[in-house]
């Protein structure tokens, strides 16, 4: 008997190829099942996994040769295929970005774990949460989080963050921009990450380092 969670994980691993073979109606149905998989628990979640996996089996005949038809949904939501899980498929289908899998999934979770603000909080401080100079990360369920380091104590956007984010193209690649800020940078020796230089005498180095990266691309 095939584990439907493993089937969903396998679909996530090959999503670049598979999604083009599914029509709009199938993608919409798959999204409904994956939403239930995320929001339900116990038997309801297992049934959602089963329905999603059966849909893929029906719409992609022969894609999983040698596997028996799905008849039950074991409680194995962490089943993996090449490091991908069913949650990775939910990220790809529901969240609208590609931060999934054994490498990018870890980066996604790390960046989303950083303190963040919602649109309403940014608006209340008098800024536009949709501005091109702000990093917007889409969390599970479509919830938007704006990393909190972008804002000063009064809630306004830091001028250095505004400048650097525009150089990094935060509106086009928010995950890449967030990772630049929150990961160690070889060009900033002595700092664990660029974000650590905010509000220090070395803050002025950030824009130049980001500009060098942008020019190199």
- As for how many domains the chain has, the answer is 2
pLDDT 10s digits, 32-83 = 999 999 999 999 999 999 999 999 999 998 876 545 455 455 556 778 888 9
Mean pLDDT of 143-165: 96
Q: Residues with Cβ < 8 Å from 119, sequence gap 6 or more?
A: 129, 130, 144, 146
The answer on 182 and 132 residing in a single domain is yes
- 212 and 118 co-located in one domain: yes
Answer whether residue 101 is part of any domain: no
Can you tell me the distance from the alpha carbon of 169 to that of 213, in angstroms, rounded to the nearest whole number? Answer: 11
pTM for the full predicted model:
0.83
pLDDT for res 12: 96
Residue 63: which domain range?
4-96
**Assign residue 140 a region: left if phi > 0, alpha if psi is -120 to 50, beta otherwise?**
beta
Q: In what order do the strands lie in the sheet with 144-147?
A: 116-117, 144-147, 137-138
Token pair 């935060």 is found at 170
Closest CA to 34 of 65, 11, 2, 1: 11
| Residues 89 and 119 grouped into a single domain | no
Q: Is residue 103 part of a domain?
A: no
Residues 90 and 180 in one domain: no
Alpha-helical regions (H) of the chain: 4-13, 15-18, 24-39, 42-59, 86-90, 101-113, 119-124, 159-168, 174-182, 205-216
Same domain, 52 and 140: no
Q: Is residue 159 part of a domain?
A: yes
């Amino acid at each position: 008997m095939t584990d439907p969670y493993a089937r969903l994980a396998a679909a996530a691993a090959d999503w670049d190829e598979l999604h083009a073979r599914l029509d709009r109606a199938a993608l919409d149905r798959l999204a409904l099942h994956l939403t239930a998989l995320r929001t339900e628990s116990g038997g309801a979640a297992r049934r959602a996994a089963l329905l999603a996996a059966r849909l893929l089996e029906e719409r992609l005949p022969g894609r999983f040769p040698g596997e028996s038809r799905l008849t039950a949904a074991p409680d194995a939501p962490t089943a993996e295929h090449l490091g991908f899980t069913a949650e990775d498929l939910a990220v790809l289908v529901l969240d609208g970005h590609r931060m999934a899998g054994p490498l990018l999934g870890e980066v996604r979770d790390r960046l989303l774990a950083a303190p963040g603000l919602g649109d309403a909080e940014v608006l209340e401080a008098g800024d536009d949460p949709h501005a091109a100079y702000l990093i917007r990360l889409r969390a599970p369920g479509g919830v938007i989080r704006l990393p909190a380091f972008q804002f000063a104590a009064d809630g306004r956007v830091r001028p250095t963050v505004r400048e650097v984010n525009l150089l990094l193209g935060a509106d086009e690649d928010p995950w890449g921009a967030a990772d630049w800020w929150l990961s160690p940078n070889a060009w900033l020796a002595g700092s664990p990450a660029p974000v650590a230089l905010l509000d220090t005498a070395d803050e002025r180095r950030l824009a130049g380092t980001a500009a060098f990266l942008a020019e190199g691309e």
